[in-house]
Amino acid sequence: GESVGLHLPTLSVQEGDNSIINCAYSNSASDYFIWYKQESGKGPQFIIDIRSNMDKRQGQRVTVLLNKTVKHLSLQIAATQPGDSAVYFCAENNSQGGTSYGKLTFGQGTILTVHP
Amino acid sequence: SAVISQKPSRDICQRGTSLTIQCQVDSQVTMMFWYRQQPGQSLTLIATANQGSEATYESGFVIDKFPISRPNLTFSTLTVSNMSPEDSSIYLCSVPGLIYNEQFFGPGTRLTVL
């Protein structure tokens, strides 16, 4: 499928390396921060989220770090594999007490390319 | 997880015409979301479609340009009206998952307006 990442930042890594994808956010009132993965020709797929009162959360091969002081979010992928090649988006959710449930604000996105 | 399909998967349209995009979910859901992803850009929420009520549009999007229908709990349509080349984008629908921040996205409809 056609890439949607023509103008997005890029990160190229070798298979087996660790990858770090960064994201800056703007809304200090956001409750949750989420990472999505979008493969070519597909819709985004949820990877992991972190609540605003946490600074680190680990999943399977992925770790998300949240630095609220500088409004920075990162996704670390361990032992990156060719199947990890995709566009990665951060997203924010400000639920506003439940009135904005599910409304996500997506960040710019980063193209990750993993070379075998 | 929810399985979402969209029709058409892609289309090339002439300026001034309208296109209706369908979104079908394999389970009943209260909320459905429509997003736009312009070339080389991230996703922007167009509107939230709730069954039995009018869609709620985000700033910069209006019902006359993007009318939405939500006739039942498994289906929604988004119409892109009076299209111009600036409407060339991927349009995606999504539904919330059981995990609070997890949304399931359809594969998208790639629209090109000439």
pLDDT of residue A3: 36
Task: Provide the domain count of chain B.
Answer: 1
Report the CATH number that the domain containing residue B82 is assigned in CATH.
Answer: 2.60.40.10
- Whether B113 is in a domain gets the answer no
Residues of chain B contacting A91 with CB distance shorter than 8 Å: 101
- In terms of residue numbers, what domain contains B88? 4-105
- State the 10-residue block means of pLDDT for chain B, 114 residues long: 93 97 94 93 93 91 97 96 97 85 90 97
**Token digits of residue A115:** 């070379």
Q: Is B53 part of any domain?
A: yes
Partners of A10 on chain B (C-beta within 8 Å) are none
B105 neighbors A44 (Cβ within 8 angstroms):
yes
Chain A nearest CA to B28, separation (Å): 16
- Among the partner residues A7, A44, A102, nearest to B40 by beta-carbon distance: A7
A20 within some domain: yes
What is the number of CB-based contacts under 8 A between chain A and chain B?
A: 70
Structure token digits, residue B68: 């939405």
Q: Do A49 and B99 touch (CB under 8 A)?
A: yes
A2 in a domain, yes or no?
A: no
pLDDT at A5: 37
**Tally of domains within chain A:** 1
Residue at A32 is within a domain: yes
Report if residue A4 sits inside a domain.
no
**B39 domain residue, yes or no:** yes
- Residue A1: which pLDDT band, with cuts at 50, 70 and 90? very low
In a domain, A105, yes or no: no
Separation CA A40–CA A54 (nearest Å): 31
CATH of the domain at A89: 2.60.40.10
Q: How far is CA A79 from CA A49, A84, A95, B38, in A?
A: 20, 10, 34, 32
- Provide, rounded to the nearest whole percent, the portion of chain B with pLDDT above 70: 98
Nearest to A6 among B4, B33, B40 (CB): B40
- For residue A33, what are the domain limits? 10-99+111-115
In a domain, B23, yes or no: yes
Q: Does residue A51 fall inside a structural domain?
A: yes
Per-residue pLDDT, A23 = 94
| pLDDT tens figures, A64-100 | 999 999 999 999 999 999 999 999 999 998 766 555 5
- Residue range B55-88, pLDDT digits in tens: 999 999 999 999 999 999 999 999 999 999 999 9
